[in-house]
């Protein structure tokens, strides 16, 4: 009899716990769904257009996941429009951490940026096999950090053949730590930090670069120093440049065919608003690269031969073994890229208007 009472008591307790958990899950799901509606109301109050289809809550019993059909964001300001639309996007998060949102999606997403952000902007389409990441919001709904991971991507720009890539991942931090810098030193205050990598970037079919159409890997980690005010780049970048704004690059790595470059340093804009930079680089595959540039007619054979001798004289085999590498300054000045003393390539002019 006592045994039966214990079993009945444990059954009641277990049932009560399960019932409380089920009720809690549905209460949390309602809170999350209301949170999405509340965020949309706040954005509309800020002047955004927020539209979407049905919102479906899933994930029972161990997670909360909101699937939003056909989301669309747009903002019209002084006859300028920024907008984004896409297929269904799934949002998931924990009620005790409401400012951190994880997302996942796939399919085709369409963007159009305000011309004040990107001059001549027209609709761009980004297709992907899968995409996921996170968003961290600060006070008043301001985006503090964005994380992105895309697989199997295809980027289509207006009147430009599409670019393809195997994987793209990035974290953009809009509130990087100041590392003890005083606010008065505005040109030393970090505006945002970027940590990004792209793998298997395939250039359009009508491009035939000397090192092949596929860039194996590009990695960039850097911090924008100094405040860039909102507005058109032609109006805001001169102020940032005059104030001493720079991009501090902790690493910029490139793997393209035989060429491997690992650099670190500082980049900025010159008085003509063209990129300029002073970096320190380690380079491998320099001989094969010069041969490819010569075969493509980009540099003269005599210059390539001189470059081979000069760079080979500087090459050293790493202590752990591997291909010989050279440590040389990599500079960008007056739109020319120099690797050591070699004037390698001329960079196209950037027109901000």
CA distance 51 to 72: 5
Is residue 318, in this structure, part of any structural domain at all?
A: no
Residues of the chain falling short of pLDDT 50: 115-120
Summarised one tens digit per residue, pLDDT across range 96-119 is: 777 888 999 999 999 886 544 444
What is the reported pLDDT for 227?
A: 80
Which pTM was predicted?
Answer: 0.78
Is residue 140, in this structure, part of any structural domain at all?
A: yes
Is residue 308, in this structure, part of any structural domain at all?
A: no
Is residue 342, in this structure, part of any structural domain at all?
A: no
What is the reported pLDDT for 118?
A: 44
CA distance 191 to 226: 6
Is residue 273, in this structure, part of any structural domain at all?
A: no
Dig out the tokens for 345 from the structure. 């390539």
Q: Which residue has the tokens 């994880």?
A: 102
CA distance 250 to 295: 33
Q: What secondary structure, in 3-state letters, does 148-185 show?
A: EEEEEEEEECCCCCCEEEEEEEEEEECCCCCCCCCCCC
Is residue 277, in this structure, part of any structural domain at all?
A: no
For 186, the domain range is: 2-265
What is the reported pLDDT for 97?
A: 76
Summarised one tens digit per residue, pLDDT across range 44-61 is: 887 788 888 888 888 777
Is residue 350, in this structure, part of any structural domain at all?
A: no
Q: In this structure, how many other beta carbons lie within 10 angstroms of the beta carbon of residue 184?
A: 7
Number of domains in the chain: 1
């Amino acid at each position: 009899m006592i045994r039966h009472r214990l079993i009945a008591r444990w059954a009641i307790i277990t049932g009560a716990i399960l019932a409380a958990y089920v009720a809690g899950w549905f209460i949390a799901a309602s809170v999350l769904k209301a949170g999405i509606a509340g965020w949309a109301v706040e954005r509309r109050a800020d002047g955004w257009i927020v539209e979407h289809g049905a919102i479906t809550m899933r994930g029972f019993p161990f997670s909360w996941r909101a699937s939003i059909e056909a989301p669309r964001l747009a903002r019209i300001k002084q006859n300028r429009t920024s907008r984004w639309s896409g297929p269904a996007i799934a949002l998931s998060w924990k009620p005790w951490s409401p400012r951190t949102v994880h997302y996942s999606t796939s399919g085709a997403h369409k963007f159009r940026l305000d011309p004040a952000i990107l001059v001549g902007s027209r609709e761009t389409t980004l297709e992907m096999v899968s995409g996921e990441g996170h968003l961290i919001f600060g006070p008043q709904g301001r985006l503090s950090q964005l994380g992105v991971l895309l697989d199997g991507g295809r980027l289509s720009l207006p009147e430009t053949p599409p670019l393809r890539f195997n994987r793209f991942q990035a974290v953009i931090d809009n509130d990087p730590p100041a590392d003890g810098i005083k606010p008065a030193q505005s040109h030393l205050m970090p505006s945002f930090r970027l940590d990004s990598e792209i793998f298997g970037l395939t250039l359009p079919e009508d491009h035939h670069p000397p090192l092949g159409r596929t860039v194996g890997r590009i990695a960039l980690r850097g911090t924008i120093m100094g405040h860039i005010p909102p507005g058109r780049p032609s109006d805001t970048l001169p102020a940032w440049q005059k104030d001493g704004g720079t991009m501090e690059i902790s690493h910029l790595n490139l793997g393209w065919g035989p060429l491997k470059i690992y650099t670190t340093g500082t980049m900025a804009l010159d008085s003509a608003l063209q990129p300029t930079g002073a970096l320190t680089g380690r380079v491998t595959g320099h001989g094969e690269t010069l041969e490819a540039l010569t075969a493509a007619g980009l540099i003269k054979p005599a210059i390539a031969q001189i470059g081979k001798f000069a760079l080979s004289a500087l090459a050293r085999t790493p202590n752990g073994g591997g291909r010989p590498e050279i440590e040389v300054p990599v500079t960008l000045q007056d739109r020319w890229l120099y690797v050591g003393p070699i004037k390698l390539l001329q960079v196209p002019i950037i027109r901000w208007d």
